[in-house]
């Protein structure tokens, strides 16, 4: 089968400042209709220290130079619209373009966040209905749409935990975190003022109820558990773990980044989860490469509802919608305004387009695709937990490295030469040399076969010409980067130097 994305014209592109030439311009502005203001007339509103002494150093380029520069840079990127993006734990699925159409409707895209509620009824109704649909999917009583991303949702959730325990008279001191949880969980605990206590998973890769029982005491506020976990396995003891934690006054936080595997199959609230953040931009399909945009709603059971951030959207008896801030026990705001509304519109469109039956089908195909890759690759790579997985599978370079010296990083770089974005590498930390692959439900069997053939070709190359892989990639605009040096000694250039 032909390799994808590895041929054709790829330009090397300098910084736009390096294309700058004095006097070039891409647009001519009309003459100013107001007189220029000199420093003496600038007024007291602009401090002297903040006033420019010279014009800003901007590149001087023609319109064609600007357009070609950014188009060429865009061609350097691998994205969900061009290739499979199998980042384990990140759910980078193809995003239906109808979502973008809906988010760009003028009534949504041109709505100012300061618009009075009476003139923003459509947006408020969307938020109100979206919250109820998400609660129905996850088994929660209420949800805040305010957090801007999954990580901020985690912090919000832990602040809710703290507020609840403080209201009971003791905020407690510790949070249990299994070694198969997401890496952001300890940071969220620390920001909320808690100490983290690691809990080792059992030999089956699952949280051991006995280990939780041993660690659980009166100082533990909660356990943060990722389900399915970062090994791609369903935490089958979750109900028992929740019973142990609840019996001693603790709460159960569920990391919802892997919700794509549970849609229509299991509701976290029914499994004993008290609070959980969702990643709308992952599960419900919004592009989020490069760190944004994101949305991390937090769902809660009745116990935690009084502490939710404000404002929340309520429906009045006359059918209109309003923003409510008068909630005495709220933790306050998590951000300005009401959250990343454009992501909410995209998620709402995604939900309406699928409906309950199709949402269940999303999870089923995601699980099927991951298990198909596992079945095809288990003869090529070591599999730490060789049994059916959920939405992602985890492999290890143990055998390949021992036999050829080729590592996980070499495999990742080799995939770039073959037109695929690499999977997540060296995570989870409990697996040495891990490759964490999540194909999502949007990839066809043909694409999965191409991915497997690319992996098999890399392994064959590792046995015949391992040194070549140590220098991969060679077909990309930029070759093998020294990532350690780049992190510790970055070279930052500014065109205005």
The answer to whether position 193 is within a domain reads yes
Q: In the chain, what percentage of residues exceed pLDDT 70?
A: 95
User: For residue 438, is it within any domain?
Assistant: yes
> Rounded to an integer, what distance in angstroms lies between the CA atom of residue 183 and that of residue 180?
9
Q: Select from 222, 299, 292, 213 the least CA-distant residue to 262.
A: 299
Alpha-carbon dihedral angle through residues 144, 145, 149, 152, given to the nearest 10 degrees: -30
The residue out of 307, 324, 352 marking a domain boundary is: 352
Residues 24 and 130 in one domain: no
Domain end call among 352, 371, 390 = 352
Indicate if 291 and 383 belong to the same structural domain: no
* Same domain as 444, residue 338: no
Whether residues 187 and 267 fall in one domain? yes
* Residues 330 and 440 reside in one and the same domain: no
| Residue 70, C-beta contacts closer than 8 angstroms, at least 6 positions apart | none
Helices (runs of H) and strands (runs of E) counted in the chain: 15, 12
* 83 occurs within a structural domain: no
**CA pair distance 454, 415, nearest whole angstrom:** 7
Say yes or no: 336 and 380 in one domain. Answer: no
The CATH number of whichever domain residue 291 belongs to comes to 3.40.640.10
Mean pLDDT of 430-444: 96
Residue 197's nearest CA partner among 218, 215, 172 is: 215
In a domain, 358, yes or no: no
151 belongs to a structural domain? yes
CA distance 295 to 146: 8
229-256: average pLDDT: 97
Tell me whether residue 93 is in a domain: no
pLDDT digits (tens, 9 = 90+) for 241-253: 999 999 999 999 9
The Cα 454–Cα 3 span in angstroms is 8
Same domain, 323 and 464: no
Indicate if 367 and 347 belong to the same structural domain: no
Mean pLDDT on 294-305? 96
pLDDT tens-place string over residues 127-186? 999 999 999 999 999 999 999 999 999 999 999 999 999 999 999 999 999 999 998 999
Q: Which long-range contacts (CB under 8 A, 24 or more apart) does 181-184 make?
A: 181/224, 181/225, 181/226, 181/229, 181/230, 181/255, 182/89, 182/226, 182/230, 182/255, 182/257, 183/427, 183/429, 184/150, 184/151, 184/154
Per-residue pLDDT at 1 exceeds 60 = no
Q: Characterize 146-170 residue by residue with b for buried, 16 or more Cβ atoms within 10 angstroms of its Cβ, and e for exposed.
A: bbbbbbbbbbbbbbbbbbbbeeeee
10 within domain boundaries: no
For range 231-241, the mean pLDDT: 97
User: Which band of pLDDT confidence, cut at 50, 70 and 90, is reported for residue 291?
Assistant: low
Q: What is the pLDDT of residue 302?
A: 97
| Averaged pLDDT of the chain | 92
pLDDT, residue 275, reads 98
End residue of a domain, out of 302, 321, 352:
352
Q: In what order do the strands lie in the sheet with 220-226?
A: 142-144, 298-300, 275-278, 251-256, 220-226, 174-178, 195-199
Evaluate if residue 44 carries a pLDDT over 70: no
What's residue 496's pLDDT? 43
Pair (112, 36) in one structural domain: no
Task: Give the CA-trace dihedral at 263, 269, 273, 275, to 10 degrees.
Answer: 90
Domain shared by 67 and 137, yes or no? no
Nearest residue to 176 via CA among 239, 242, 94, 269: 242
Number of domains in the chain: 3
Q: Quick one: pLDDT at residue 497?
A: 38
Q: Do 388 and 266 belong together in one domain?
A: no
Same domain, 179 and 318: yes
Adjacent-strand bridge partners of 177? 198
Cβ–Cβ under 8 Å, residues 148 and 295: yes
Q: For residue 9, tell me if it sits in a domain.
A: no
Domain span at residue 51 reads: 16-76
Strands 298-300 and 275-278: antiparallel
From the number of C-beta atoms within 10 Å of its C-beta (0-12, 13-18, 19+), residue 171 rates as: middle
Q: Give all strands (DSSP E) within 348-396, no chain letters.
A: 393-396
């Amino acid at each position: 089968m032909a390799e994808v994305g590895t041929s054709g014209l790829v330009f090397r592109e300098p910084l736009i400042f390096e294309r700058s030439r004095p006097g070039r311009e891409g647009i001519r502005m009309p003459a100013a209709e107001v007189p220029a203001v000199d420093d003496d007339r600038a007024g007291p509103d602009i401090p002297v220290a903040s006033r420019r002494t010279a014009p800003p150093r901007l590149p001087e380029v023609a319109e064609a130079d600007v357009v070609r520069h950014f188009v060429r840079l865009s061609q350097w990127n691998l994205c969900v619209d061009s290739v499979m993006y199998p980042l384990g734990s990140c759910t980078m699925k193809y995003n239906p373009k109808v979502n973008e159409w809906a988010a760009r409707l003028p009534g949504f895209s041109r709505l100012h966040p300061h618009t009075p509620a009476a003139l923003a009824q459509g947006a408020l109704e969307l938020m109100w209905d979206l919250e109820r649909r998400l609660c129905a999917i996850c088994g929660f009583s209420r949800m805040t749409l305010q957090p801007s991303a999954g990580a901020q949702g985690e912090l919000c959730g832990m602040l809710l935990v703290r507020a609840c325990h403080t209201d009971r008279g003791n905020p407690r001191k510790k949070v249990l975190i299994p070694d198969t949880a997401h890496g952001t969980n300890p940071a969220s605990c620390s920001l909320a003022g808690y100490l983290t206590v690691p809990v080792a998973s059992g030999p089956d890769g699952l949280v051991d109820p006995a280990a939780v029982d041993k660690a659980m005491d009166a100082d533990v506020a909660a356990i943060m558990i990722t389900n399915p976990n970062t090994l791609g396995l369903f935490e089958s003891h979750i109900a028992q773990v929740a019973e142990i934690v609840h019996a001693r006054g603790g709460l159960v936080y569920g990391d919802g980044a892997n919700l794509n595997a549970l849609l229509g199959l299991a509701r976290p609230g029914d499994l004993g989860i008290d609070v959980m953040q969702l990643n709308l931009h992952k599960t419900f399909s919004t592009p989020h490469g490069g760190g944004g945009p994101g949305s991390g709603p937090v769902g809660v059971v009745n116990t935690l509802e009084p502490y939710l951030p404000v404002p929340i959207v309520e429906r009045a008896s006359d059918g209109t919608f309003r923003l409510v801030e008068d909630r005495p026990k709220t933790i306050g705001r998590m951000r300005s305004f009401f959250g990343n509304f454009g992501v909410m519109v995209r998620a709402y469109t995604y939900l309406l387009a699928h409906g309950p039956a199709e949402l269940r089908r999303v999870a089923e195909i995601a699980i099927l695709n991951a298990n198909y890759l596992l079945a095809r690759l288990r003869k090529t790579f070591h599999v730490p937990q060789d049994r059916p997985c959920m939405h992602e599978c985890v492999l290890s370079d143990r055998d390949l490295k021992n036999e050829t010296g080729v590592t996980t990083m070499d495999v990742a770089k080799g995939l770039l030469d073959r037109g695929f974005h690499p999977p997540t590498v060296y995570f989870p930390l409990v697996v040495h040399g891990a490759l964490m692959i999540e194909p999502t439900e949007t990839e066809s069997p043909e694409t999965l076969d191409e991915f497997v053939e690319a992996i098999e070709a890399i392994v064959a190359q590792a046995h015949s010409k391992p040194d070549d892989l140590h220098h991969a990639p060679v077909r990309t605009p930029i070759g093998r980067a020294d990532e350690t040096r780049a992190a510790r000694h970055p070279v930052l250039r500014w065109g205005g130097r």
